[in-house]
Structure formats: C-alpha cells, structure tokens
Structure 1
C-alpha cells in the first residue's frame, strides 16, 4: 500500500507543513529585514514561478523558460528601484520575451505572466512603501485562507466549489477561508492598530488568493500537468505554493495605489 493511501486524506499534511515552515522562516526573515533581502526573496520566487509558467506552455523543455525566469527575477528586482511610472516598462521585458518564444496561446500566457509579475512586484512595493506590518497582514491573511480552507474542507466537505477546475475545493473550505481572513484582519486591527477597513479588505484578499489558486489549477488542467514542478515537497512547484500570495499581492498593490 502506498504512503498516500496509508495516510488517507491527511497524507500530504506532513510535507506541506514542513515546506510551509521552511518558506515562512526564509520569507519572514526577509520581511523583517526588508530592502534588498525581501526584494531578492520575492524576485527569486517570482522568477521561479515565471520559469514554471513558460515550461507549461513550452513542452520541449529547452533553455527559453530558464532565460525567461531569470529575466523575470531581474525585472521585479529592478522595477522596485525605479520610479513607479517606469516599473511597467521594466516588467514588460520578460513578458515580451516569453511572448516571443511561444508558438501559440499568446494571450493566455500574457494574462498569466502579467498577473505573476504584478503580484511579485506588488509585494516588494508594499514592503518598501509601507511598514512591515502591512506585508505581514497580506501574508497572514493568505495563510489563514489556505489553512482554514484545507482543514474546513477536509472536515466538513460538502458541495464542490468548481469541480471542473479543482475537484478538491469545496464551498465549506472556501467560505471558511473568507472567515479566517476576516478574523486575521480583526487581529491586526486590535493588536497593532491597523485601520478597521482591513477586516473587510481581508475577505477580498482571501478571494484573490483563492482566485489565484483556481487560475493556476485551471491552467494546469488545460496544459495536462499535475504540478507546476517538483521543487517544493508536498506542494509541487513554486507556482503551486505562491499562486495565492501573488493574487493577494496584486490586489494589495492596486488597493494601495488607489486608496493610498
């Protein structure tokens, strides 16, 4: 009998927990340090996601995805150093390269690639422009969404959220994620004095996080792959772990520049 069957529905809990702890340690340290440390961590993660993304579109596995990933990492890092109006020009470089080496699905790749780059840049920009508490809020809201969705979905079960795209997601887990994110927002309001609007905005952070997860699931199903790669035990690829964070990062950036 396989390990997965022996462990039943909780078989992936151990690897997921260990991987999440390691990522949290590195990510948390970089958030605390800010500056180059955080920009480097997010840039490398975004580059890895961009590499995985182009690998899914190009089946020949040549050097093009690796080149695109390197360009994406560099672009996110540099975009954080230049004036905000110039950042889209910098971020467009890896997008243009990836677009140029594809034989088809150009619009689909452009949509996913733009989301990945905006999400990565948004996280770095948020940490640079605001104090670390705002970045921690985004991270904890996403983690709360993911953890609550996992456990509530496993325990409660019930009607599937979107079985054609992600057969394991349930409405109970999805709504549990919204509630957990709102509660996390409340804690940030009570404990460190963040504005009360954070509570309801946290629900939207959860929704964008879940939308990122669903969008990646839809892409993997379309491309006929189970995981974006096998870089992270228990999670698959970097994209599999950071899809929700990137969705939330994009939202946080848009909210910040819109409302200040």
Structure 2
C-alpha cells in the first residue's frame, strides 16, 4: 500500500450525514403530538411544565454558566437546575389556576435568572426564556380552546417545513439562506418549506377540514418556525456550543428539536391577538 494511500483523507460524510438528526426531530414532534392527543387536564399541564423545565435548564446552561466570577463552586453547577425547577413550578401555577393574574407566574424564572446571567446575555436569557414559557402555555391553550386538530396542524407545518427544507435543500442546493448562522440552510429548502405549508393549508381547506385562512396562515407560521430555528442557531453560536445539551444522545438537546415549534407557536399566538385564528376541524 502506497504512502499516499495511507495518508488519504477520509471521505466526507456527504450531504445526507445529518439525516438521523432530522429523523430525531420528527420523532420528537410526533411524540409531542401524541402527548397532546392523549394527555388532558392536569397531565397535560404537568407535561408542558416539564417541557418548560427541560428547555429552561438548557437555556440557563448557555447563558452564564461559564463565568466563574458569577457562579463560583457548586452554585454554578446547580444554577441551571434551580432555574429549571422554578420554570416547572411557575408554568404549573400559570396553567393550574383559572385567574387572569396567574399568567404573571410565567415571568418568575426570568426574574430569578436575569441577575445571574452573564452581563452580555441578560437580554438573550430574558427573550428566550419568555419564549419558552409562552410557548408551553400557548400550546395548552390551543389544545383546550381550539382542539387537537389545530395543534396537529401546527405540528404538521413544522414537520413538513423541516422535511421539505432538508430534502429539497440537499437535492437542489443553491444560495444559502443565512450562512453566518445556519450554513446548511438554503433558499431552495426554505422556499420548499413555504410551498409545503401552503399545500397543507390548501388541502385542509379543500377537504373541508378548515377555513380559507389556512391558505395564508400556513406559510406565515412556516416562516416563523424557520426563524425559530435560525434564532436557536444564533444562540448556540453565541454560547460557543454545537448543541443545546446532550439529553438526546447523538442528536443534541431538546431546544434543538423544539426551536421551530417555538417560532411557529409564537407567530400563531400573535396572529390570534391581531385577528381570528383559522378553524381546523
């Protein structure tokens, strides 16, 4: 065997190397959909409180835990866990009490965590933390007031966007959508996600499973989900980490799988504040 052959570089993993991560994302989203289908009442609320706690633990770990001056000794190691407990209890209070002021409990983990975050990350922690708490709260509201099919429509948009974006982006390629934050995301994949969401909206409308608002809402929610993915990529780059955590062995953390859902749910909540939400039967 020649020296050149011995020193040959290993072949690149190829453009489908991260397919398993996409499959993991889809499975997590399907799991959330099944949970929302099965869980009701107190179990639904506790499940979403747990999701809040897990994602808050990851957020806290990315916004200040490396600073020994702020978090010396054992306090630094326990800070993310402590904030996760506060997030769980706060979400449970907000969802468990039928009072307009109960929603203020969503801000407890923000108040508790902002002083301990790294100075440059305090606004980052506050904004992402607010998003985490509002999305879990909003999903319960959508499930109970708009029905399971409405939540499945949201999850379907995220799954279709992610799947279409991945496969069409890899097959067609072309210019990158936002190379400084997401070097693998292409314009072709991004637009494929919009088209997939649009087709889902049209299909539900034509089948009589929803009203015509789905036609324009679906692509907007899709775009918001893509922006959620971009925002989490920015957060990880800012923190200097590849994944939000190692909770899913080989596939990163929960925020990595929940980022697009966050953007989609927040956009849907905003649409609901501005106008009526589409009906999904």
Q: CA–CA distance in 1 between the matches of 2:270 and 2:233?
A: 24
Q: What is the rounded CA distance, in whole Å, between the counterparts of 1:87 and 1:255 in structure 2?
A: 22
Contact 2:157 2:218 in 1 (8 A): yes
Q: Tell me if the contact between 1:123 and 1:253 (Cα under 8 Å) persists in the aligned partners.
A: no
Displacement of 1:144 in angstroms is 0.7
Structure 1 counterpart SS, 2:62:
helix
| Structure 2 counterpart SS, 1:58 | coil
TM-score by length of 1: 0.90
Higher relative contact order (CA 8 A, sep 6+): 1
Q: Following the alignment from structure 2 to structure 1, what is the Cα–Cα distance between the partners of residues 43 and 187?
A: 38
- The match for 1:9 is 15
Post-superposition Cα deviations, 1:158-187, rounded to whole Å, max 9, x if no partner, equal 001111111111111111111111112223
Inter-partner Cα distance in structure 1 for 2:208 and 2:32: 20
Measure, in 1, the Cα distance between the counterparts of 2:270 and 2:96: 18
> How many residues end up aligned between the 2 structures?
256
- 2 CA distance for matches of 1:13 and 1:179? 21
Q: Could you say which residue in structure 2 is the equivalent of 1:176? A: 192
CA deviations on 1:30-84 (whole Å, 9 max, x unpaired) are 2212333333333222221111111011234511111111222232233223346
Matching residue within 215, 223, 243 for 2:259: 243
Following TM superposition, the consecutive aligned residue runs of length 4 or more in structure 1 with deviations greater than 6 angstroms are none
Asked if structure 2 preserves the Cα contact closer than 8 Å seen for 1:178 and 1:206, the reply is yes
Q: CA deviation at 1:255?
A: 2.2
DSSP-derived class of the 1:180 partner:
helix
Distance 1:222 1:55, change over 3 A: same
**How has the CA–CA distance of structure 1 residues 27 and 69 changed in structure 2, closer, same or farther, with 3 Å as cutoff?**
same
Structure 2 residues without counterparts, runs of 5 or longer: 1-9, 67-75, 277-281
SS at match of 1:118: helix
Match of 1:96 among 111, 132, 142: 111
Q: Deviation of residue 233 (structure 1)? A: 4.1
Structure 1 residues 225-247: Cα deviation after superposition (integer angstroms, max 9, x where no partner): 11101112453110000011011
* Residues 18 and 248 of structure 1: CA distance in aligned 2, closer, same or farther (over 3 Å): closer
1:5 CA drift (Å): 5.4
Aligned to 2:3: none
Deviates more, 1:31-40 or 1:133-142: 31-40
Partner of 1:76: 91
Alignment of 1:9-88 (within 5 A): 9-18=15-24, 20-21=26-27, 23-33=28-38, 34-60=40-66, 61-83=76-98, 85-88=100-103
Greater Cα shift, 38-47 or 98-107: 38-47
Match of 2:73 in 1: none
Counterpart CA distance in 2 for 1:250 and 1:84 is 22
Task: Pick one of 125, 132, 157 that aligns with 2:141.
Answer: 125
- Superposition CA RMSD, Å: 2.1
**Larger helix proportion of the pair:** 1
TM-score (norm 2): 0.83
The answer to whether the 8 Å contact 2:243/2:253 transfers is yes
Q: Secondary structure at the match of 2:177?
A: strand
